[in-house]
Amino acid sequence: DGGITQSPKYLFRKEGQNVTLSCEQNLNHDAMYWYRQDPGQGLRLIYYSQIVNDFQKGDIAEGYSVSREKKESFPLTVTSAQKNPTAFYLCASTPPTPSGNEKLFFGSGTQLSVL
Amino acid sequence: GQQLNQSPQSMFIQEGEDVSMNCTSSSIFNTWLWYKQDPGEGPVLLIALYKAGELTSNGRLTAQFGITRKDSFLNISASIPSDVGIYFCAGPRAGGTSYGKLTFGQGTILTVHP
């Protein structure tokens, strides 16, 4: 079955530590996104990538980094510079067709907590 | 920037009741999307609206694209326990080429009592 796989489901970060969240998709979608969700708030865009080897900052990119070396993979690194990393992180992708590229398909998320 | 305001923030209803929620914006959207998020999971697209005045159904769910283009409504008829979750409205931002850059409302939390 096609879809987006995020791992791990739960992740704990120590002070000063960088952690990487994995996102893999087999939908053959070109564009991929990372959103952050905090309780009681809407989703906020961290980074997005429209094509391999290219990515752009979203609204809250500070303290995060990404790479897009393969079409299927878009990992997110939460660096020690991110002072409030506790949140639910969602990876998503959109299909390439003009009439459907606003429809985000989401993974099941990673809950990151600080020890 | 564009913001979406959802109301109510939360709802507690009895099984079998109908549910109405809405989403408003100070700016125009050309597309409205409604997502549902189950606890601990990613949101799933329920309905997409593309035209002002459009009324679209998906099973017991019906959504409408407001005529002013600044609002949208979602109704759920005859609620059941599995309707529990967070419902988000969203819309693509103006300009740009990556339409997956959505603005989300803060969500409506729905609780259904059996």
What is the average pLDDT across A32-41? 93
Chain A residues within 8 A of B90 when measuring between CB atoms: 42-43, 104
Q: Categorize the per-residue pLDDT at B92 as very low, low, confident or very high, splitting at 50, 70 and 90.
A: confident
Collapsed DSSP state (helix, strand, coil) of residue B34: strand
- Around Cβ A49, how many Cβ atoms within 10 Å? 21
pLDDT at A15 over 90: no
Q: Categorize the per-residue pLDDT at B108 as very low, low, confident or very high, splitting at 50, 70 and 90.
A: very high
Query: What is residue A8's predicted lDDT score, i.e. its pLDDT?
Result: 97
Query: What is residue B57's predicted lDDT score, i.e. its pLDDT?
Result: 97
Query: Percent of chain A beyond pLDDT 90?
Result: 80
Tokens for B67, please give them: 């005529």
If one compares B102 and A89, the residue with the highest pLDDT of the two is A89
pLDDT at B94 over 80: no
C-beta of residue A21 within 8 angstroms of C-beta of residue A113: no
Query: What is residue A5's predicted lDDT score, i.e. its pLDDT?
Result: 97
Chain B residues within 8 A of A40 when measuring between CB atoms: 9, 106-107
Query: What is residue A11's predicted lDDT score, i.e. its pLDDT?
Result: 95
- Around Cβ A28, how many Cβ atoms within 10 Å? 11
Question: B52 - beta bridge partners?
Answer: none
Whole-angstrom Cα distance, residue A81 to residue B6? Answer: 32
**A–B interface: beta-carbon pairs under 8 A:** 72
The answer to whether A95 faces chain B, any CB pair under 8 Å, is no
Query: What is residue A60's predicted lDDT score, i.e. its pLDDT?
Result: 96
Tokens for B1, please give them: 């920037």
The answer to whether B44 faces chain A, any CB pair under 8 Å, is yes
The answer to whether A61 faces chain B, any CB pair under 8 Å, is no
Contact check, Cβ <8 Å, A103/B33: yes
CA-nearest of B58, B91, B71, B76 to B19 is B76
The answer to whether A64 faces chain B, any CB pair under 8 Å, is no
The partner residue sitting opposite B88, judged by closest CB among A42, A44, A56, is A42
The partner residue sitting opposite A42, judged by closest CB among B97, B101, B105, is B105
pLDDT at B95 over 70: no
Query: What is residue A95's predicted lDDT score, i.e. its pLDDT?
Result: 84
pLDDT at A58 over 70: yes
pLDDT at B16 over 80: yes
Whole-angstrom Cα distance, residue A81 to residue A28? Answer: 33
